[in-house]
Amino acid sequence: MFLSNHLPNHHDCLPKYELIQAVHTHMAGISDSSYRCIYMEEDDEGETGVNIGKDLLGVGNKAIRSNITSLARLILPIREKLLYMSGFCSKPDLKRAFEHFLPHVGGKPLLDELQKSLGLSDEGMEPSRMTLLRYGNVSSSSVWYELAYTEAKGWVKKGDRVWQITFGAGFKCSSMVWRALRRVDVNDEENPWKDEIETFPMEMKAMEGVTPYLNSLDEFAQ
């Protein structure tokens, strides 16, 4: 599968990315608590809204750990797999499997936890934090704003691997890993960051984040 922002008959239709792995984890079939942790229903007055259950954190933890563990088995270099399986390291180093990490922007606490758990640099989290700063929590679509930010900065080189991970009701967790087939043009007319990219990154003031989907990923591989 390939990803391009041009129509098939466009003179420059060489795809930008090739999909190399996709992992989808869906917890709804496991238990009622998974299915109803984020659920639309009517209240006593007949108004429909989203009910967030008390089991959200626990269910979210399980889904994310399961997804990342499955993905790690597919994308990690052989040497890293062997070190992990032989017990020489307590958890695999996912940073060896990608150059760009673009997670669902669900709030500052979530991004803080992901950065800590995966050992990512501030620059590595910049697309996520600047997307949160400029657009807020736009749910799973945030990963495309993050990708556009990374492209606008000129960071995507040929051969780079991009990991997108999103979360949703059900509880669901999906990962996609793309490989860049070429250096991405930083002057893309349709890039939403194009006219302002020189002003980023900006300093983020203290932000009130939503309750994160997870407590900790330190033991995701177990």
Q: Which is more confidently placed, 220 or 75?
A: 75
Range of the domain at 98: 17-40+49-199
Q: What is the pLDDT of residue 212?
A: 41
Q: Are strands 17-26 and 2-3 parallel, antiparallel or unpaired?
A: antiparallel
Angstrom CA distances, 74 to 2, 21, 94, 175, 215, stand at: 19, 8, 11, 12, 25
Give the pLDDT of residue 157. Answer: 95
* Residue 141, domain member (yes or no): yes
Q: Residue 107 and residue 105: Cα distance in Å, rounded?
A: 6
Return the closest-CA partner of residue 52 out of 212, 174, 209.
212
pLDDT given for residue 13 in this prediction: 66
Q: Is residue 57 part of a domain?
A: yes
Higher pLDDT, 204 or 200: 200
What does the pLDDT read at residue 6? 59
Q: Does 59 map to a domain?
A: yes
pTM score, two decimals?
0.82
Higher pLDDT, 14 or 102: 102
The verdict on residue 28 lying in a domain is yes
pLDDT tens per residue, range 45-78: 889 988 877 777 788 888 888 898 899 889 988 8
In this predicted model, what pLDDT tens digit does every residue of 18-35 receive, in sequence order?
Answer: 999 999 998 877 777 777
> For residue 100, is it within any domain?
yes
Please answer whether residues 115 and 75 qualify as being in contact, where contact means their C-beta atoms are separated by less than 8 angstroms. Answer: no
Look at residue 21 in the predicted model and tell me its pLDDT.
96
Q: Is residue 209 part of a domain?
A: no
Contact (CB, 8 A) for 148 and 192: yes
Give backbone dihedrals phi and psi of 24, rounded to 5 degrees, phi first: -120, 125
pLDDT tens digits, residue range 105-126? 988 888 888 888 888 999 999 9
Question: Per the structure, how many domains does the chain have?
Answer: 1
- The least confident of 82-86, 119-123, 167-171 is 82-86
Q: CATH number for the domain including 106? A: 3.40.47.10
31 assigned to some structural domain: yes
pLDDT at 218: 46
Helix ranges, the chain (H) = 32-35, 56-75, 78-85, 108-118, 126-135, 142-152
- 165 closest CA partner among 46, 65, 77: 65
Task: Flag whether pLDDT at 193 surpasses 50.
Answer: yes
Strand pairing report for 17-26 and 161-168: unpaired
Rounded Cα distance, 194 and 154, in Å: 11
For residue 1, being part of any structural domain is answered with no
